[in-house]
Amino acid sequence: MTGAGVPSPLAGWRVLVPRPPEKAGELSTALRAMGAIPVPVQLISIVPPDDAGDLDRQLVELAAGAFDWIGLTSATAVSAVLDRSAALGLTPPVPASTRVAAVGPATAATLRAAGLPVDLLPPVGGSAAALAAAWPRPTADDQAVLLPRSDIAAPTLPDALRELGYRVLAVTAYRTVVQPAPADLAAELIAGGFDAVLFTSPSTVASLAGVSIAESTVIGAIGAPTARALTTAGRSPQVVADRPTAAGLVDALTATARTNPRPVEA
């Protein structure tokens, strides 16, 4: 409900959330609060690196104070660093001398929940380009940045930091494995079984490559990088969140629903 006796524009909407149920909680909760019916489906898997040796070496160096900065571009990267550091017995995993940069609000929240500071957060977060634009120039020669990332992460941030004059070490902290859409899900998408599909990363865009989505289905993106991936894939997002959070995405979908209502079945 949006007010006394006023139904939500999303009431009755069936929305595909391309995340496993255990990781879809915030987005699913926000959708349910607006009367929508979230359908979480796992379309990508996060797995450790094939060889964790390089990551382990850099985390040992990090704990020893060898890096001036660490840049985290996803909550998944934060979890990967903390989990592996704990397995190696590194306490604290990030020393007080190392400044911490987060790409956006969700990543910053994960850092703070783990008791780590956030020294840099772009005013408009959610993309490597935004983080790079907010990053200050080095204050001394040979300042080093550690970037623990997905194996499929774009070179945007490391390239930009090198241009600023930093020594950058980008290391694979986890692998993103795209899973093909199950046949029954593909059939539902073709038949218009969802009122909306909310893409939450470029990887989720890749997971539905080649699967037709009914024209009546609203396509949403959590931020600019995901919107660009959709456009490159030949899909036109009608919804792009102005902030890369679950609340931002649901707010954007709600705004679109006000001008594109769906009938609610009795």
Please tell me whether residues 82 and 161 are part of one structural domain.
Answer: yes
Of 179, 213, 227, 176, nearest to 41 by C-alpha is: 179
Flag whether 254 is in a domain: yes
In the prediction, which pLDDT does 266 show? Answer: 36
How many helices and strands in the chain, by DSSP H and E?
A: 10, 10
In the prediction, which pLDDT does 125 show? Answer: 67
Predicted TM-score (pTM) of the model is 0.81
Domain that holds residue 87: 47-177
pLDDT tens column, 135-189:
999 999 999 999 999 999 989 999 999 999 999 999 999 999 988 889 999 999 9
Rounded-to-integer distance, Cα 19 and Cα 41, Å: 5
Q: Last residue of a domain, which of 125, 147, 177?
A: 177
Rounded-to-integer distance, Cα 74 and Cα 168, Å: 18
Flag whether 108 is in a domain: yes
- pLDDT band at 260; cut points 50, 70, 90: confident
Q: Last residue of a domain, which of 138, 161, 177?
A: 177
E-only strand ranges, 118-253: 144-150, 167-178, 196-199, 218-221, 239-240
- CATH number for the domain spanning 253: value is 3.40.50.10090
Flag whether 230 is in a domain: yes
Please tell me whether residues 236 and 254 are part of one structural domain.
Answer: yes
Most confidently modeled of 115-119, 129-133, 153-157? 115-119
What are 177's two structure tokens?
């494995």
Mean pLDDT in the chain?
92
Please tell me whether residues 56 and 173 are part of one structural domain.
Answer: yes
Provide the domain count of the chain.
2
Please tell me whether residues 36 and 56 are part of one structural domain.
Answer: no
Flag whether 101 is in a domain: yes
100: β partners: 70
Statement: residue 70 has pLDDT above 60: yes
In the prediction, which pLDDT does 233 show? Answer: 94
